[in-house]
Amino acid sequence: MPLDPALLKSAQQWLAEDPDPATRAELQALLDKDDVAELSDRFGAALEFGTAGLRGTLGAGTNRMNRAVVRRTTLGLARYLKAQVPDVAARGVVIGRDGRIGSPEFLEDTAAVLCAEGIPAHVFEGVVPTPLVAHAVAALGAAAGVMVTASHNPPAYNGYKVYWGNGAQIIPPHDAGIAAEIAKAGPAQAIALASREQAGALYRPIAKSVEEGYFRALAGLMVHPELPRDLAIAYTPMHGVGNRFARRALADAGFTKVETVPEQAEPDGRFPTVAFPNPEEPGAMDLVLALATKLDADLALANDPDADRLAVAVRTAKGQYQQLTGNEVGILLGHYLLTEGKQDANRLVIASLVSSSQLGLMAAALGVAYDETLTGFKWIANRAMQLEKSEGRRFVFGFEEALGYTVGTVARDKDGVGAALLVAELAAFAKTKGRTLLEQLGEIQRRFGLFAASQKSLTLPGASGLSQIKGIMAAFRASPPEKVGTLRVEAVRDLKAGTRTVGGKVEKLALPPSDVIVYELEGNARVVLRPSGTEPKIKFYFERKEAVGAGEPIAEARARASAALAELQDGFLRLVDPVKAK
């Protein structure tokens, strides 16, 4: 089948305007081979700039991450900042990068475009973790920040994350405003650049003092700095940027028995020992668990490649290692900070709506304010700042189930380095009580209930898959079930409509509109439906609460909760199958 003439014209125009000889050669080879499928994929759509910035596969084309896309995006950002931030020429923009393929070039292009627009570029020299960029935006009083990273995506990806001047990721209306300016940017080859030499004083390497300030702030998060730090820790940055930063934060706090997986210690965008550098993926933690076994370590910790997420595994009574879920780590940290940290009436904790509802119930029992946001730390961080200002709250902790946590206000984003430090301190605290983290979790579950959670994703690629995903959401909106399995549906939250329906009564929701449905079930059970914003998937989140009986072994309660959760999941997926088949 021949290539659509409009797509062929787009490809030829791109070839003429691409400033990068490497991607020009790549595209020319595809045109020479008449590779219709690949060309259609690259030019049939464009990477969409949104609240997560940009993220995509590296390569030539409008639907890929490349230098042309980065230059046009940066010009759009620069012009939006000039329109919205009167003193942007004084404040500038912070820029950092991870160790992925293309990241050095994307960082330099970002700086060159900003400087050509008269905007100072505060540039981190070398690789840095994402939370340090968020911290630096606030520390330097910058107008915005850019982190070049694809976080935990596979090796073929890269991305461009944008922070506003408050140090948090952008939210509406800034995403749409920047996207509108990008659309006006014109050919990448025509965009003015100022090299480091040409930029002069506009190109500003970030002083080491900013990094030192970050470490000092992390040290200030500790709840019990006086406790013994007699823990053995196995750690991996998963070929990312975290090793120097996590090791330094732990060492400053007195954790000296830390060893890094040697094969994964240095940044390497090829990720040679792990195909998918996401600690949640099967096999991704194999090397750090092997090191933990060798060391007989108390803990195994893993950051994702840009060190904004943290995975935790703990030694069991049988000497094996069990990886905790993001919900379990979130509950452990939340409980520790609320029960052992500074006690005051203005404390605030926040979780995303797909994360364990246990944090909210626990906070209520402890007299602490709780709020819930859409998925994504941009919402958690911005909501925390809003409530700090409007209600005088003190933000203590926020988390989302996908291994994202932040403590206090060091970084207005998830911070895998700070989380590693607090998890290590919590493990040291539990050890002084003669408990492991698993046993500490069991004590929390006895007091506040045992919340079991799981997630199921359906991958439905292509245009037909997108149609199916939309069809599933539309069908469940049109005909909400009365029961899921054996559990009665007590309320329905439709975030797209902004409503919560209980017994025929409709209430308005305060959350921003989003394509999410929440079924609240009897007994504090819950099902959430949410199409992915970055992948061709629809995700379903399940949660059940079980009480732990007096004197009941926690292992038995967990097994009972797991069986009840599986029953809930199976009951819901039976409802999905007929819809999917339509």
Contact present, 191 and 113 (Cβ < 8 Å):
yes
Contacts 24+ apart (CB under 8 A), 335-343: 335/362, 335/444, 336/223, 336/422, 336/426, 336/429, 337/223, 337/396, 337/397, 337/407, 337/422, 338/362, 338/363, 338/366, 338/368, 338/396, 338/397, 339/366, 340/223, 340/224, 340/429, 341/223, 341/396
What span, in angstroms and rounded, lies between the C-alpha atoms of 420 and 405?
10
Q: Minimal CA–CA distance to 223: which of 364, 384, 335, 371?
A: 335
Residue 266 near residue 243 (C-beta atoms within 8 A): yes
Closest CA to 432 of 245, 224, 260, 284: 224
Q: What phi, psi does 366 have (nearest 5°)?
A: -100, 5
CA distance 18 to 53: 21
| 49 backbone dihedrals φ, ψ, rounded to 5° | -80, 125
Residues forming a β-bridge with 457: 539
Across the strands, what pairs with 453? Answer: 543
Q: What is the DSSP string of 136-175?
A: HHHHHT-SEEEEE--TTS-TTEEEEEEEETTSSB--TTHH
3-class DSSP state of 423: helix
Angstrom distance (rounded) from CA 507 to CA 4:
48
AA identity, residue 271: F
Instruction: Report the alpha-carbon distance of residue 312 to residue 236 in Å, rounded.
Output: 11
**H or E segment and range at residue 235:** strand 233-236
Cα separation values, 423 from 128, 164, 188, 334, 429, Å = 21, 29, 45, 11, 10
Q: How many Å apart are CA 568 and CA 516, to the nearest integer? A: 19
Residues known to be catalytic:
151
Q: Measured between alpha carbons, how far is 203 from 114 in angstroms, rounded to an integer?
A: 9
Q: Is 553 exposed, middle or buried (0-12, 13-18, 19+ CB in 10 A)?
A: exposed
Token pair 């060159």: residue: 112
Torsion of CA 319, 321, 325, 331, to 10 degrees: 40
Burial class (CB in 10 A: 0-12, 13-18, 19+), 374: buried
Please state, in angstroms and as integers, the Cα–Cα distance from residue 226 to each residue in 7, 339, 396, 428, 454, following that order: 64, 17, 20, 11, 37
Half-sphere exposure of residue 360: CA atoms within 13 angstroms, side-chain side: 14
